Structure 1
Amino acid sequence: MASLKPSVLQTLIVLLLALVLVCCKASLETEQEDEEEINVTTMGKKPDLTECPQECSCTAEGAVDCAGVDLTEFPAELSDETRQLSLQNNKIETITVDHISHLHQLQTLNLQNNWLTTDGLEDEGFEMLEQLAYLYLANNKLTSAPRVLPPSLVSADFAANQLTNIYPYTFGQKPNLKSVYLHNNKLTDASLPYHMFNGSDNLEILTMSSNFLQIVPGHLPSTLYRLHLKSNKLEQIPPGAFDNLPNLRELYLQNNHLSNEGMDNETFSQLNSLECLDLSNNNLSVVPKGLPRNLVLLHLEKNSIRSIPGDTLSSVRNLEYLLLHNNKLRSRSIHPAAFQGLKKLHTLHLYNNLLERVPRSLPRRAKTLMILHNLISEIGRNDLALLYTLTELNLSYNKLTSPKVHHEAFRKLRMLETLDLSGNSLHSLPVGLPRSLRVLEIKNNQLNSIPDGALSAMKNLQKIILSNNQLKLNSIYQGAWMELSALTTLDLSGNQLSHIPSDLPESLEYLYLQSNRISTVPASAFEGTPNIKGIYLR
């Protein structure tokens, strides 16, 4: 074979390389086209929600809303990608395993306000919902809770059913469980399994109000911070029932049958985080001892409490609200040291008791004192002298008479803003009222006199209610109203006035004069009240 010249050989090599490059490029372009085709058909595919039930609305994020559309059956053909399913406010009676077993992505299932019964609920299906976190079955007709719920559960609401049975794995072995709502059912002590929350060590909220429990459930998770047990049949709290609840902040035990004999002095003593305790409407005869130190709000109203010993409240240093209304307390049954040391107590309710006089040694930092509807017949010179910070005082509907209210009884109340003396037997407006007053109510008395200067220097008074008394124009000293430069509301209805007062202040906005003896309205009656908005003369 004849040898090729160097120049010809180089030319052939260049041509060969060019051919190889063209083939490689063609192959690469083919592969890229194939990849693009794969990307278009498989990559980034969104959930197929073309199966959205006709009555419902669906989103690309997997939320299916079928609430309140009068469904009588569980919607068929739900997408496997459904994450949130809202079926509340319908008429669904039956849910089978086939209905829900394919919903492996479901996180929230809302079935409240339907017609579901225990027979119509195949609860085995719930086990397959491996991501279910929120289950709402309130307001149905269930008599038994599902036997097994998935471990992924975070919150379960079974309120307002007819439950008489809870099973060990209904709420047991749920490490993520935070809240359980079981109020308004028919649960008894026998309905609850031993260690009902075994393995559910993160529970924070438990409501079991309005059932038929007679004993506080035991073995509750130590993580609880809110426990509702009101409106049951509780008669006793077993020793140590609350000893392992160091995080409990709110405990509601009102509307039960608890007595002092049904608990001991250590019942609440270990609840070091407790801030709110409601024992109202029970059968207590004395304020219980052993209350936790950090308590802020204590409800003891609507019991039969007759006494407050001197050392009962001494440990509750953080107490701010003490509600003792609707009991059977007498002034002498409240120990003089009962409120000693309660430097944060600012609200005290003692109304609807049997107090004959203002109790001694009331909390010195009190801001609100409600002692209406008692039997108090007098206020001595020093009965209120230590209540320097008081801003609201209600003494209405007692048995006060003018001679029994000392003229210096209110002298130390320099921060008082609201005073209510309604429903007593006062004949004369008390003198020496605090100049700080903004609201003064003395309706439903027998007032026939406002003494000279009784309202002088009360520059902050905005509202004065003197309705249903026996006031006449000549029983009110001249210029009494004109002195009240901040007054916006004056109620003199139900008295014996024959004319419209002539000394009304310029600031007045509302004037109540109905049910008097007024027969004429002079043309100049309201010339001095340019801000008036309402005049009542019927």
Structure 2
Amino acid sequence: MRLSLLLLLLLLPGPQPALGMEDDASFPHLGESSQPPPRACPPRCSCPRPDTVDCDGLDLRVFPDNITRAAQHLSLQNNQLQELPYNELSRLSGLRTLNLHNNLISSEGLPDEAFESLTQLQHIYVAHNKLSVAPQFLPRSLRVADLAANEVTEIFPLTFGEKPALRSVYLHNNQLSNAGLPPDAFRGSEAVATLSLSSNQLSYVPPSLPPSLERLHLQNNLISKVPRGALSRQTHLRELYLQHNQLTDSGLDATTFSKLHRLEYLDLSHNQLAAVPAGLPRTLAVLHLGRNRIRWVEAARLGGLRGLRYLLLQHNQLGATGLPAGALRPLRGLHTLHLYGNRLDRVPQALPRRLRALVLPHNRVAALGARDLTSTPRLAELNLAYNCLASARVHLRAFRRLRALRSLDLAGNQLTQLPSGLPAGLHTLRLQRNQLRTLEPEPLAGLHQLQELSLAHNRLRVGGIGPGTWHELQALQVLDLSHNELSFVPPDLPEALEELHLQGNRIGHVGPEAFLSTPRLRALFLRANRLHMTSIAPEAFLGLLHLRVVDTTGNPEPVLVRLPPTAPRQPRAAGP
């Protein structure tokens, strides 16, 4: 019996020597606490979880040692690393995320087999380094690869090929030409949804792109052509970015986009197109054609885009005949039309009835007739700034059908009086940089919802503002009368006013009753007038309990501003 007991005791395991952190944690010594000892963490790094090591922004020049083999997430971004030692990486076979963003790693400092043992790696970030070629091999487990902002000129077949889980590849801001992309660059990677190749040196759209793509970024290249069939397999594509290239009409044909049956966003701006491309997908919601050389819009090329919501044609060469009447009428779902910076001399006729925003600044529109805007009764925003409109050529009923209009911009024209018949629902009215000398109550009557009115840079004098002009502006909160010829604060300003701009006038005195009608005033701008130290009456701000800012800079003398002691905060009174 004693012999059997002795043999049993001899076979029982005794205390073992420490073999490492993991062994200590798994096999606590007999008679000691079962709590594991503190985990090793590289100096100055933080290890908030057992599987996470964060060495971000420590100016490290050498890859840290003592990284636990249990690490799944390692961040070394924002350091000074120039190379990755294979021996250190190879022992971290459990890594799922490796962040090397913003270091100095060159291709010479990255061994070919650097990532060979990282068989669990899903996310790798090597953006903003010094790589001249892509890693020859990345793990099959990869889901996201970011090599942006390097100096990469060449990709290899197994860099991104044979990666069944790969979803996103970022290669923008490199030096890739078409010769640097092998035809099988994405073979075996049938799940890539996002590919960014923008800001490289591609001269044509690569023909071997993954068929699974949903978002393709090719902007800021040298692309002059989309080869026939280059996009024929990308039937899942929803967003295509081709802006800032060298595309001409001959670089596209009627089949270029014909297979993209799910495309919603197409950006062809900043190219050299002279016409709207043919064969556009019916699924488009956004079509950006700004900054091209388009002189004429052929109705047939837009006729099938009934779901188009945003059409951007700004900064082209559309003249008097560039948009034939009714050319855009088939776009039944059109919400916003941008025509900024063309050569149009009138508002396009027969626009879609559901149009909500018409943006036409910097054209040559010289007149608004009674029926010019009747086809767009749902218009909420109308921008006709910086055209050639004169008051005599704006019809009294030009705006009568625009009952939904909330924002009207007529800045930078040649108006000498306020337009008549303004819609009662306006919230914003911009009339700066015209030639207004007088204001009368009638044009502003009924604008009970107007919240912002800009009359800056006109020729208004207080004597030209008729009695009762502001009477019906019950909701007006912002009034800009800057850079006119006012010699004092206009009387009877709206009670709801919160912000008043009077800078750049000729005001030399502010009397005690100047702001009696505006108890909610929060900000007052009086800079660059003719005020002196005692120009503002001591009682001027009495009762303005909400006033926060009084700007009197740029006057001939520092201005003394007295606020009632009950004011919650002292506004700024500045010198010249």
Q: How does 1:69-468 map to 2 (within 5 A)?
A: 69-468=58-457
Q: Give the CA deviation at 1:454.
A: 1.0
Instruction: State how far apart, in whole Å, the 2-side matches of 1:127 and 1:57 are.
Output: 26
CA RMSD, aligned part only?
Answer: 2.3
Give the secondary-structure state (helix, strand or coil) at the position aligned to 2:164. Answer: coil
Query: TM-score, normalised on structure 1?
Result: 0.91
Q: Give the CA deviation at 1:447.
A: 0.8
Q: Give the CA deviation at 1:512.
A: 2.1
Instruction: State how far apart, in whole Å, the 1-side matches of 2:53 and 2:478 are.
Output: 55
Question: Identical aligned pairs, as a percentage?
Answer: 46
Instruction: State how far apart, in whole Å, the 2-side matches of 1:47 and 1:226 are.
Output: 47
Larger radius of gyration: 1
Say which of 446, 467, 475 aligns to 1:478: 467
Letter in 2 for 1:174: K
Give the secondary-structure state (helix, strand or coil) at the position aligned to 2:300. Answer: coil
Give the secondary-structure state (helix, strand or coil) at the position aligned to 2:169. Answer: strand
Letter in 1 for 2:312: L
Provide the residue aligned with 2:519 in structure 1: 530
Provide the residue aligned with 1:5 in structure 2: none
Q: 1:55 to 1:500 in 2, by over 3 A?
A: closer
Contact 2:356 / 2:378 at 8 angstroms: preserved in 1?
yes
Contact 2:220 / 2:243 at 8 angstroms: preserved in 1?
yes
Contact 1:328 / 1:353 at 8 angstroms: preserved in 2?
yes
Deviations 1:376-411 (A, max 9, x none): 111111111111111111111001111111111011
Letter in 2 for 1:405: V
Q: How does 1:26-105 map to 2 (within 5 A)?
A: 42=26, 50-105=39-94
Contact 1:290 / 1:312 at 8 angstroms: preserved in 2?
yes
Give the secondary-structure state (helix, strand or coil) at the position aligned to 1:331. Answer: coil
Q: 1:54 to 1:494 in 2, by over 3 A?
A: closer
Contact 1:276 / 1:298 at 8 angstroms: preserved in 2?
yes
Give the secondary-structure state (helix, strand or coil) at the position aligned to 1:474. Answer: helix
Give the secondary-structure state (helix, strand or coil) at the position aligned to 1:174. Answer: coil
Contact 2:347 / 2:372 at 8 angstroms: preserved in 1?
yes
Letter in 2 for 1:483: E
Letter in 1 for 2:112: D
Give the secondary-structure state (helix, strand or coil) at the position aligned to 1:100. Answer: helix
Provide the residue aligned with 2:481 in structure 1: 492
Contact 2:441 / 2:470 at 8 angstroms: preserved in 1?
no
Letter in 1 for 2:51: G
Instruction: State how far apart, in whole Å, the 2-side matches of 1:137 and 1:89 are.
Output: 11
Give the secondary-structure state (helix, strand or coil) at the position aligned to 1:145. Answer: coil
Instruction: State how far apart, in whole Å, the 2-side matches of 1:41 and 1:485 are.
Output: 74
Provide the residue aligned with 1:17 in structure 2: none
Deviations 1:423-456 (A, max 9, x none): 1111111111111111111011111233451111
Instruction: State how far apart, in whole Å, the 2-side matches of 1:77 and 1:512 are.
Output: 63
Contact 1:56 / 1:64 at 8 angstroms: preserved in 2?
yes
Instruction: State how far apart, in whole Å, the 2-side matches of 1:519 and 1:53 are.
Output: 69
Instruction: State how far apart, in whole Å, the 1-side matches of 2:318 and 2:295 are.
Output: 5
Deviations 1:351-373 (A, max 9, x none): 11111111112222111111001
Query: TM-score, normalised on structure 2?
Result: 0.85
Provide the residue aligned with 2:559 in structure 1: none
Q: 1:149 to 1:536 in 2, by over 3 A?
A: closer
Provide the residue aligned with 1:16 in structure 2: none
Q: Give the CA deviation at 1:332.
A: 1.3
Q: Give the CA deviation at 1:341.
A: 2.2
Letter in 1 for 2:154: N
Instruction: State how far apart, in whole Å, the 2-side matches of 1:429 and 1:534 are.
Output: 26
Structure 1: gaps (5+ residues): 1-22
Q: Give the CA deviation at 1:334.
A: 1.0
Q: Give the CA deviation at 1:58.
A: 2.3
Deviations 1:270-302 (A, max 9, x none): 111111111110001111121111111111111
Letter in 1 for 2:56: A
- State yes or no: 1:518 paired with 2:507: yes
Instruction: State how far apart, in whole Å, the 2-side matches of 1:266 and 1:337 are.
Output: 26
Q: Give the CA deviation at 1:78.
A: 2.5
Contact 2:358 / 2:379 at 8 angstroms: preserved in 1?
yes
Q: 1:74 to 1:178 in 2, by over 3 A?
A: same
Instruction: State how far apart, in whole Å, the 2-side matches of 1:132 and 1:419 are.
Output: 55
Instruction: State how far apart, in whole Å, the 1-side matches of 2:37 and 2:227 are.
Output: 56
Letter in 2 for 1:235: S
Instruction: State how far apart, in whole Å, the 2-side matches of 1:60 and 1:394 are.
Output: 55
Q: 1:48 to 1:415 in 2, by over 3 A?
A: same
Give the secondary-structure state (helix, strand or coil) at the position aligned to 2:518. Answer: coil
Letter in 2 for 1:252: Y
Q: Give the CA deviation at 1:48.
A: 8.6
Contact 1:80 / 1:102 at 8 angstroms: preserved in 2?
yes
Range with bigger deviation, 113-122 or 54-63:
54-63
Instruction: State how far apart, in whole Å, the 2-side matches of 1:528 and 1:88 are.
Output: 59
Give the secondary-structure state (helix, strand or coil) at the position aligned to 1:126. Answer: coil
Range with bigger deviation, 482-491 or 412-421:
482-491
Deviations 1:40-63 (A, max 9, x none): 985699999744222322245321
Letter in 1 for 2:106: T
Letter in 2 for 1:92: L
Instruction: State how far apart, in whole Å, the 2-side matches of 1:160 and 1:41 are.
Output: 42
Q: 1:66 to 1:514 in 2, by over 3 A?
A: closer
Instruction: State how far apart, in whole Å, the 2-side matches of 1:36 and 1:87 are.
Output: 41
Letter in 1 for 2:290: E
Give the secondary-structure state (helix, strand or coil) at the position aligned to 1:156. Answer: strand
Instruction: State how far apart, in whole Å, the 2-side matches of 1:501 and 1:366 are.
Output: 39
Q: Give the CA deviation at 1:419.
A: 0.6
Contact 2:25 / 2:37 at 8 angstroms: preserved in 1?
no
Instruction: State how far apart, in whole Å, the 2-side matches of 1:128 and 1:40 are.
Output: 25
Give the secondary-structure state (helix, strand or coil) at the position aligned to 1:333. Answer: coil
Instruction: State how far apart, in whole Å, the 1-side matches of 2:446 and 2:48 are.
Output: 68
Q: 1:73 to 1:37 in 2, by over 3 A?
A: closer
